[in-house]
């Protein structure tokens, strides 16, 4: 199937190369063409009549903007997208009957902001949820290494209470000589593990050109820390509707991270999950420093779900349990933990990988913490 606009592109191999369909057979989100900035929210009064709300919507559309009506329990609000002349909008709308107030969205990220979307986002995915009352537990090895290992581990993780299986088929390694992942073969293994266990698959997509392939197999596309500001990649995953797990860059501020999420949302994909995986500091006794404050800060500024990755944050299996529990206690919506049947011989990140037994213990302890913070496993 031919795709519209930006999805048809030149091959990345330089001038003169043929125009190809980069993503054959994949339907992008319909609304990606409407990529616009959200600027204003019109709050209607509690007494506003349906006709009054409709009149405001029509006025907004006459001015050339997109209007979306959200019916709350008490009041309706209208999101106005694509505003270029704020003064004109205010003048045209503020005195219409039923209008209570106009609120400009001031934060640099719009769609990711709580101003835009006051309620927590809950992502539904094949009968599972991310965000909301139930904690999301993502577990698995750093990399998919072999079919036998993956199948056995997946069953054990499922039994221990995980709902999602992680494992990289494309690995971002610091050295080009380190194991780079099994590629498509790894994705096929993940798909078979899903078939066997029902666990949903979280796996990393390293580059734009791999998106169609990873999309075919994954339930959640992971964008790694090193790619957090790979804007072409962010835009590409934004054009599809599978959830994206966006890891925080190791030296990214929370604002930069939320702006990266905005790139995905602005393309029409509302399903973004943030993942705090530790940032670089002067500390050397841990691989990174888990920024636990990112949890309440993100929750304050954004409606997007946020999970904690204690494995990459600490770099050491010894500390994973504490950090995971701290994340849940701080209000995170879940955790992503590396688990390996034989950490000493893992092809990547063995030092920070939990053994199965340790993972089971962690699950039991998290259950208790979850209860005290009003969450469930």
Query: Residue 333, interface with Mn ion (CB under 5 A)?
Result: no
63 to 122, contacts with ligand PEP by CB under 6 A? Answer: none
Question: Which residue's Cβ lies closest to ligand PEP?
Answer: 224
Residue 168 or 334: the one with the smaller Cβ distance to ligand PEP is: 168
Residue 110 or 248: the one with the smaller Cβ distance to ligand PEP is: 248
Do 227 and 250 touch, CB atoms closer than 8 A? Answer: no
CA distance 301 to 298: 5
Query: Residue 309, interface with Mn ion (CB under 5 A)?
Result: no
CA distance 317 to 350: 9
Binder to ligand PEP among 6, 132, 172, 183 (CB under 6 A)? 172
Minimum distance from residue 220 beta carbon to ligand PEP (Å) = 12
Pairing assessment for the beta strands 272-276 and 306-308 based on DSSP bridges:
parallel
Rounded to 5°, the CA angle 277-280-286 comes to 75
Query: Residue 252, interface with ligand PEP (CB under 6 A)?
Result: no
Stretch that binds ligand PEP, among 16-24, 45-53, 218-226, 368-376 (CB under 6 A): 218-226
Minimum distance from residue 224 beta carbon to ligand PEP (Å) = 3
CA distance 12 to 368: 51
Query: Residue 349, interface with Mn ion (CB under 5 A)?
Result: yes
Question: Which residue's Cβ lies closest to Mn ion?
Answer: 142
Minimum distance from residue 143 beta carbon to ligand PEP (Å) = 7
CA 81 to the chain's CA centroid = 22
Minimum distance from residue 263 beta carbon to ligand PEP (Å) = 17
Minimum distance from residue 265 beta carbon to ligand PEP (Å) = 20
Query: Residue 324, interface with ligand PEP (CB under 6 A)?
Result: no
Burial of 148: CB neighbours in 10 Å, binned 0-12, 13-18, 19+: exposed
**CB neighbour list of residue 282: distance below 8 Å, 6 or more residues apart:** none
Residue 116 or 217: the one with the smaller Cβ distance to ligand PEP is: 217
CA distance 234 to 252: 15
Do 307 and 273 touch, CB atoms closer than 8 A? Answer: yes
User: Which tokens hold the place of 180?
Assistant: 């780079």
Stretch that binds ligand PEP, among 24-32, 79-87, 223-231, 266-274 (CB under 6 A): 223-231
127 to 146, contacts with Mn ion by CB under 5 A? Answer: 142
Alpha helices in the chain (DSSP H): 50-62, 86-93, 147-160, 184-197, 211-217, 231-238, 254-266, 294-301, 310-314, 317-329, 356-372
Query: Residue 287, interface with ligand PEP (CB under 6 A)?
Result: no
Binding site for ligand PEP (CB under 6 A): 142, 168, 172, 224-226, 247, 277, 312
């Amino acid at each position: 199937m031919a795709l519209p606009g930006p999805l048809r592109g030149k091959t990345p191999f330089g001038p003169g190369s043929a125009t190809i369909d980069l993503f054959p057979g994949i339907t992008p989100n319909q609304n990606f063409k409407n990529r616009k900035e959200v600027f204003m929210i019109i709050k209607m009064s509690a007494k506003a009549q349906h006709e009054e709300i409709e009149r405001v919507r029509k006025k907004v559309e006459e001015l050339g903007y997109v209007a979306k009506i959200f019916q709350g329990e008490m009041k309706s609000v209208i999101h106005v997208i694509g505003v270029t002349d704020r003064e004109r909008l205010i003048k045209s709308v503020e005195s219409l009957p039923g209008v209570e107030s106009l609120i400009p969205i001031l934060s640099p990220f719009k769609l990711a902001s709580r101003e835009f979307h006051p309620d927590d986002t809950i992502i539904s995915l094949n009968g599972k949820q991310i965000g909301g009352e139930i904690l999301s537990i993502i577990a698995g090895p750093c990399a998919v290494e072999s079919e036998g290992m993956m199948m056995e581990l997946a069953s054990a993780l499922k039994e221990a209470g995980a709902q999602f299986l992680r494992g990289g088929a494309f690995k971002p390694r610091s050295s080009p000589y380190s194991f780079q992942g099994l590629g498509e073969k790894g994705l096929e293994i993940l798909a078979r593990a899903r078939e066997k266990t029902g666990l949903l698959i979280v796996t990393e997509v390293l580059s734009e050109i791999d998106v169609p392939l990873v999309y075919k197999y994954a339930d959640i596309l992971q964008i790694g820390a090193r790619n957090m500001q790979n804007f072409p990649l962010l835009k590409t995953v934004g054009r599809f509707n599978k959830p994206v797990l966006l890891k925080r860059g190791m030296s990214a501020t929370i604002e930069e991270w939320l702006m990266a999420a905005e790139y995905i949302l602005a393309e029409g994909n509302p399903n973004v999950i943030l993942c705090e995986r530790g940032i670089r500091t002067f500390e050397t006794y841990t691989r990174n420093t888990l920024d636990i404050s990112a949890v309440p800060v993100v929750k304050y500024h954004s409606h997007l779900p946020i999970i904690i990755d204690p494995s990459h944050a600490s770099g050491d299996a010894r500390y994973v349990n504490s950090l995971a529990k701290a994340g849940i206690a701080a209000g995170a919506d879940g955790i992503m933990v590396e688990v390996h049947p034989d950490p000493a011989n893992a092809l990547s990140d063995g030092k920070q990988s939990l053994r199965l037994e340790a993972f089971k213990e962690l699950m039991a302890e998290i259950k208790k913490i979850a209860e005290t913070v009003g969450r469930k496993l």
